[in-house]
Amino acid sequence: EAQVTQNPRYLITVTGKKLTVTCSQNMNHEYMSWYRQDPGLGLRQIYYSMNVEVTDKGDVPEGYKVSRKEKRNFPLILESPSPNQTSLYFCASSYSLSSYEQYFGPGTRLTVT
């Protein structure tokens, strides 16, 4: 089954404790991205990657890091989480940057206290 998986689905952590959210896709997509979804603000892109070792900032990259060492994986790293990073995070993949169809993962609900 074609899918994007994320782990963990729910995470509660404390300010400053480094964490990683994993993302994996099995569709051989070149393009992957991370979004955060907040009430009233919708989906905002954090980082994206057009291929292995090629990443770039999205609209709200501050406080986040990513890496793309393998085509299927695109982890999101919060080196020092803060309460304003409490949000719902989605990983997505698509065939290309310009594709109108992105495949989203199930989401990771992060709470930073």
Residues that bind other proteins (CB under 8 A): 4, 39-43, 45, 90, 92, 97-102, 104-107
Q: Do 38 and 44 form a contact (C-beta atoms < 8 A)?
A: yes
Name the minimum Å distance from CB 16 to other proteins.
28
Nearer to other proteins, 3 or 80 (CB): 3
Q: Is 97 helix (H, G, I), strand (E, B) or coil?
A: coil
Min. distance of Cβ 90 from other proteins in angstroms? 5
Between 83 and 106, whose beta carbon lies closer to other proteins? 106
Question: Could you tell me the smallest distance in angstroms from the CB atom of residue 103 to other proteins?
Answer: 8
Nearer to other proteins, 81 or 105 (CB): 105
CB of 15 to other proteins, least distance (A): 26
The residue among 61 and 107 lying less far from other proteins, judged by its C-beta, is 107
